[in-house]
Structure 1
Amino acid sequence: MSENTPVSDKVDRVEAIIEQLENGEVSLEEAQELREEGEELLTELEGTLAVGDGEIIEQ
């Protein structure tokens, strides 16, 4: 996903990856690829969102 992808789409993709991994119906290789994609998305989200005073503020 690009940096221009909305935050909600990135969060939805992370949730989909988690569901796929929890189902356990993916090969070890595919699970590794999904994990890497999820880590990249989470890094992007951390860079996009800042937490302050209990609120999430989009930068």
Structure 2
Amino acid sequence: MTSNTTDESTETTQESTATTEESTATTDATISEKVARVEEIVAQIEDGDVSLERARDLHTEGRELLDELEADLELGDGTVEER
């Protein structure tokens, strides 16, 4: 009986680890996409070929993305991994 319980516990741990890794990969992609969009916004505003209203809308979108990025990065465990 103990062996069966241990096997079930190991399977649960492996499933949890796989889910965490998938979540991290998704978060990484999302962070990369958000950073890329912020860079696009900065380039558009710096180019100067946008109306004042469009620049304001871009600024608002950029600020929201930066807030989301800050929240995403605060969720980390404090370690940096190079991939």
TM range (shorter): 0.7 to 0.9
**TM-score of the two chains, using structure 1 as the length reference:** 0.77
Aligned to 1:23: 47
State, as a whole percentage, how many aligned pairs show the same letter.
50
Structure 1 residue runs of 4 or more that deviate by more than 4 Å after TM superposition: none
Unmatched segments (≥5 aa) in structure 1: none
**TM-score of the two chains, using structure 2 as the length reference:** 0.55
CA RMSD of aligned residues (A): 2.3
Deviation at 1:13, TM superposition (A): 0.1
Unmatched segments (≥5 aa) in structure 2: 1-26
Identify, as 1 or 2, the structure richer in helix.
Answer: 2
> For the residues of structure 1 that align with 2:30 and 2:58, how far apart are their CA atoms?
20
Query: Which structure has the bigger radius of gyration?
Result: 2
- Give 1:47's match in structure 2, choosing from 30, 53, 71: 71
Task: Count matched residues.
Answer: 52
